[in-house]
């Protein structure tokens, strides 16, 4: 079923995946690291 959803909404999932990869992942790393240098880098 997930494969069907992937095929039906590939563009949306691509966008959401890129959004998650570019935003939520660095945010998670920021929360885990809690580093001031990482904050100034963003």
- pLDDT of the residue at 4: 53
Count of positions (residues) in the chain? 42
- pLDDT of the residue at 13: 66
**pTM more than 0.75:** no
What confidence tier does 6 reach under pLDDT thresholds 50, 70, 90? low
Q: Which residues of 9-23 are buried (b: 16+ CB within 10 A; e: fewer)?
A: eeeeeeeeeeeeeee
pLDDT tens-digit series, residues 12-41 = 766 666 666 666 666 666 666 665 655 555
- pLDDT of the residue at 34: 62
- pLDDT of the residue at 24: 64
For the record, the structure tokens of 39 come out as: 């904050």
Tell which phi-psi region holds residue 34, choosing left (phi > 0), alpha (psi between -120 and 50) or beta.
left
């Amino acid at each position: 079923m997930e494969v069907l959803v992937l095929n039906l909404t590939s563009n949306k999932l691509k966008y959401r995946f890129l959004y998650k990869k570019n935003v939520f992942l660095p945010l998670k790393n920021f929360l885990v690291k809690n580093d001031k240098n990482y904050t100034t880098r963003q």
